[in-house]
Structure 1
Amino acid sequence: MKRTIKEIADWLSIDSVDFVETVVTGVSIDTRTISQGDLFIPFRGESVNGHKFVEQAFEKGAAASLWLKDEPNPPKDKPILFVDDAELALQQMARAYRNQHRGKFIGVTGSNGKTSSKDILASMLTPFYKVQKTIGNFNNQLGLPITLLNLDEDTEIAVLEMGMSGFGEIEFLTKMAKPHFAIITNIGEAHMQDLGSREGIAQAKFEIIQGLDREGILFYDGDEPLLQHLVNKETHLQSKSFGFQSSNDLVATSIETTEKGSRFTVRGELNGEFFIPVLGKHQVKNTLNAMLVGKAIGLHEEQIRQGLAQVTLTDMRMQLVPTEKGIIFINDAYNAAPTSMTAAIQFVQTTSIREDKWLVLGDMLELGENEKQFHEQIASVIDESKISRVCLFGSRMKWLYEQLKGKFAEANLLYTNDDYEKIVQYINQYADDQSLILLKGSRGMKLETILKSF
């Protein structure tokens, strides 16, 4: 954004300000990443008071700063905006800027695949439009407004990821972003402990339509009956479904994977063969929603094909990592839930990239009272005739370990509660230039730590 202090003060209903002509070109809540021209937003938490860093923010190039009215000793002779609540002010500014922005906005939510779908869509559109997307996981009540306020004035398409852990959160975000198009990638089991059931998760994700433009379109996983049921109840909602079942508006078939990526055929809204330089059948499904959005925006089939061919994903999403020792890792360690864990394991079992296939799996978190059952059920996915060795990391993976002891020889199955080095040594001992090793676990397990040793 590019707004004067006076314009921002108007957004915040502040009557009297100094430095009215000072121009702000973005926002930041962290002096370590502040950019020239940013408005610094200090938060006051239990352990850290951001007001202590306001002077440092100005030294690093901040154009202005917010300041809580009840916080003593504000800086003298600096562009300061006094507010009652920093978080509410941030959100108020984001709504005002969004209402003035002329770009197309796309909201993306779902249990798994949000970031991959966001990356695929943004990459596909970039050759034809000026595109900005959510950086990292800035997808909550703080991250989304920061993303909105850092959009350039001339951005044509904004791809916005929306995350949640409870009811009402997606509704809050979507009403702020007001998307022209909305995507629900799938319904999994993450946040089961907060939402109680997959039905509850589906209902929470479906809140994204609450902020959808009146002429907007929802794109959703048509293989998921819970979503289909919710769509059927919204008689005035424009929607398109994607998936592997023939009833969808866009269907993917004949999926082939190599070291270079995935080739697949689609029929329905689009027809023909397409390629993405990304691994995994589940990533093909994430590509389908991007293709539907691309068509709705106005891309023709050849442009979609061209855009998909140069897609790149954020690190740790089915990322192929070769090493000096010759081992190839698939780094999918950003997050995990039963749905995505199953998809990654099935990919490894069916790929022809390497013959010696390993699984290094970490705990799946936030699964609620059925977490033991969810971990044990992964055993039914793992085919011992296709997987050479399994390493399990974390207290919850002990449940899977107990299930696998009867399927794998003792020498081919390793369990550790919290020792990365034990797994590193095991890999060094038994893996070679014919080995393909999947790293998959929830974010809190930090399985990428193992990769650093190679």
Structure 2
Amino acid sequence: MTKWTLNEIAEATDGVIYHTENHLINIADISFDSRNLSEGSLFVPLIAERNGHEYIDSAIGNGASAAFWSEPVEKAPKDFPIIQVKDTLQALQQFAKWYLKKVNPKVVGITGSNGKTTTKDMTEAVLSAKYKTHKTVGNFNNHIGLPYTILGMPRETEAIILEMGMSQADEIHVLSTLAEPDVAVITMIGESHIEFFGSRDGIADAKMEIVDGLKSDGVLIYPGEEPLLAERTAILPEERVRTFGRTDKENLYATKIEVKSRSTEFSVNLAPELKITLPTPGEYNVQNALAAILVGIEFGISIKASAEKLEQFQLTKNRLEWIEGFNGSQLLNDAYNASPSSMKAVLNYFATIETNGKKIVVLGDILELGELSEELHRDVAASIGAASIDYLILYGEKMRTVYNEVKGSFNLEKIRHFSGDKKPMVDYLRKTIQSEDIVLLKSSLGTNILEVVEKLKKKTLM
């Protein structure tokens, strides 16, 4: 389906069209990967480690109909339509901002050290009770991914839910001012990327950049029990702030929380008679659900309607995901990302699960903790209860700190530390795991523990 003409894109980006007299060429999609194009696509040659302009022939061969171009026009293919712009990334962002205003959906921006992806999924489920929705897919949550997400939304979208990630200061500022959210959500302040910010204070400052683009009547939703945020939200009028949490000081708080092996039940103060069931375990997921419910309230969705949608919501893959493992085991895959806070939370949850088999925990390095890495890994070690774990397998050089801290609490036959090649660890796990065992796998994405998950899955015959 045609979304734009070449002329519209050029006007949106202050670009100039070359090499075609037909300014009404239909463009249905965009891509910055020359291998992932189809007829009617606009190729965006980004300049990073490699110069995307070098792949223009590949883009044309794969069906591109036009391209942004920031190199001299003379270097462009002579018989291929281009839009000359000053900077291809800026043009992508300008184009996304123009399209967002043209479609004019309600905009929700979500950031936080942990929980932003789950909160995004829950918020999309809640808003789908009343609106046609579109949301960030996968990890497209940065200065490239967010405009790509916006440009991927259908014209009939009524509410868009945008995840906003960061690793440095000013990144959330760029995303917020591009998206101009009606509602901004901060899920929590943890230790993720503390290597780049030096402290949780620095992280809080960076997360608060989400209000930089907040509409003049927009609302900020945040965990009220986080003092670092409570201090900083004083810049906003009281009527533009909503809080969630566990105490009666918050606008929305949870009661009667019951965590089960595959689900979580709770009630809230604004609808105490209603039982809300999440199809995902972990008490910390209640916090994410509270944020989503508050977004729903801002957009006129009842708590009852939100509860019905939350009962059916789908988590993004690799987030606290139960998978059938080989040999009749069950894998709890949470290996997409990790911080000290999220690792401690999932360990606490795993300790509560009842099973007829063994409990096996596989933990990989938590990355981007900088000078605080050893201290924060030691903090994780303090959360490991030997009484609730049968086997503990640790992977990576940073996990050596955890191994040294906890090895005295375990039978030495039931604790192992590996680094480098994962094959010895996989071989050990495959010898150890038996029917009815449950296996938790948690790590930062950079350690690629997802590779281990794949090796431990039940293989289906085709």
TM-score, normalised relative to structure 2: 0.93
- In structure 1, what is the Cα distance between the partners aligned to 2:308 and 2:144? 35
- In structure 1, what is the Cα distance between the partners aligned to 2:38 and 2:293? 34
Contact 1:65–1:81 (8 Å) recurs in 2: yes
- In structure 2, what is the Cα distance between the partners aligned to 1:260 and 1:397? 28
Structure 2 residue identity aligned to 1:33: N
Q: Does 1:3 align with 2:4?
A: yes
Contact 2:265–2:275 (8 Å) recurs in 1: yes
Match of 2:183 in 1: 181
Match of 1:317 in 2: 319
Q: Does 1:382 align with 2:379?
A: no
Unaligned 5+ runs, structure 2: 457-462
Contact 2:17–2:81 (8 Å) recurs in 1: no
Larger CA deviation: 180-189 vs 317-326: 317-326
Secondary structure, aligned partner of 2:387: coil
- In structure 2, what is the Cα distance between the partners aligned to 1:198 and 1:287? 24
Alignment counterpart, residue 283 of structure 2, candidates 277, 281, 285: 281
Match of 1:334 in 2: 336
Alignment counterpart, residue 430 of structure 1, candidates 429, 432, 439: 432
Match of 1:307 in 2: 309
- Which runs of structure 2 are paired with 1:224-239 in the superposition (5 Å)? 224-235=226-237, 238-239=240-241
- Once superposed, which parts of structure 1, at least 4 consecutive aligned residues long, lie more than 4 Å away? none
- Which runs of structure 2 are paired with 1:93-242 in the superposition (5 Å)? 93-235=95-237, 238-242=240-244
Contact 1:104–1:180 (8 Å) recurs in 2: yes
Match of 1:25 in 2: 28
Would you say how many aligned residue pairs link Structure 1 and Structure 2? 453
Larger CA deviation: 120-129 vs 34-43: 120-129
Secondary structure, aligned partner of 2:441: strand
How much has 1:65 moved relative to structure 2?
A: 0.7
Give a deviation string over 1:366-400, Cα, whole Å, max 9, x none.
Answer: 11111101111112111111111110000000000
Structure 2 residue identity aligned to 1:36: E
How much has 1:199 moved relative to structure 2?
A: 0.8
Structure 2 residue identity aligned to 1:26: D
How much has 1:291 moved relative to structure 2?
A: 0.9
Secondary structure, aligned partner of 2:276: strand
Secondary structure, aligned partner of 1:160: strand
Structure 2 residue identity aligned to 1:23: N
How much has 1:81 moved relative to structure 2?
A: 0.7
Give a deviation string over 1:344-370, Cα, whole Å, max 9, x none.
Answer: 100101123555222100000111111
Distance 1:137 1:237, change over 3 A: farther
- Which runs of structure 2 are paired with 1:334-413 in the superposition (5 Å)? 334-353=336-355, 356-413=358-415
Larger CA deviation: 92-101 vs 111-120: 92-101
Match of 1:253 in 2: 255
How much has 1:82 moved relative to structure 2?
A: 1.2
How much has 1:40 moved relative to structure 2?
A: 0.6
Structure 1 residue identity aligned to 2:124: A
Q: Does 1:43 align with 2:46?
A: yes
Distance 1:145 1:392, change over 3 A: same
Match of 1:69 in 2: 71
- In structure 2, what is the Cα distance between the partners aligned to 1:296 and 1:45? 39
- In structure 2, what is the Cα distance between the partners aligned to 1:2 and 1:204? 35
How much has 1:54 moved relative to structure 2?
A: 2.2
Larger CA deviation: 29-38 vs 336-345: 29-38
- In structure 1, what is the Cα distance between the partners aligned to 2:133 and 2:272? 23
- In structure 1, what is the Cα distance between the partners aligned to 2:38 and 2:163? 23
Contact 2:17–2:23 (8 Å) recurs in 1: no
- In structure 2, what is the Cα distance between the partners aligned to 1:372 and 1:71? 52
Q: Does 1:13 align with 2:14?
A: yes
Secondary structure, aligned partner of 1:285: helix
How much has 1:270 moved relative to structure 2?
A: 7.1
Distance 1:88 1:269, change over 3 A: farther
Contact 1:231–1:237 (8 Å) recurs in 2: no
Match of 2:460 in 1: none
Secondary structure, aligned partner of 1:325: helix
* Cα-Cα RMSD: 1.9
How much has 1:262 moved relative to structure 2?
A: 1.3
Match of 1:34 in 2: 37
Give a deviation string over 1:48-72, Cα, whole Å, max 9, x none.
Answer: 3322332332333323111223264
- In structure 1, what is the Cα distance between the partners aligned to 2:356 and 2:35? 42
Structure 2 residue identity aligned to 1:253: T
Structure 1 residue identity aligned to 2:327: K
Secondary structure, aligned partner of 1:248: coil
- In structure 2, what is the Cα distance between the partners aligned to 1:346 and 1:198? 22
Secondary structure, aligned partner of 1:404: helix
Give a deviation string over 1:118-176, Cα, whole Å, max 9, x none.
Answer: 11211333354221111111111111111112221111111101111122111111000
Contact 1:182–1:218 (8 Å) recurs in 2: yes
- In structure 1, what is the Cα distance between the partners aligned to 2:12 and 2:415? 60
- In structure 2, what is the Cα distance between the partners aligned to 1:397 and 1:135? 31
Give a deviation string over 1:224-247, Cα, whole Å, max 9, x none.
Answer: 111111123433561111122332
Larger CA deviation: 12-21 vs 337-346: 12-21
- In structure 2, what is the Cα distance between the partners aligned to 1:218 and 1:192? 23
Unaligned 5+ runs, structure 1: none
Q: Identity rate of aligned residues, in percent?
A: 37
Q: Does 1:89 align with 2:85?
A: no
How much has 1:271 moved relative to structure 2?
A: 5.8
Secondary structure, aligned partner of 1:27: strand
Contact 1:335–1:440 (8 Å) recurs in 2: yes
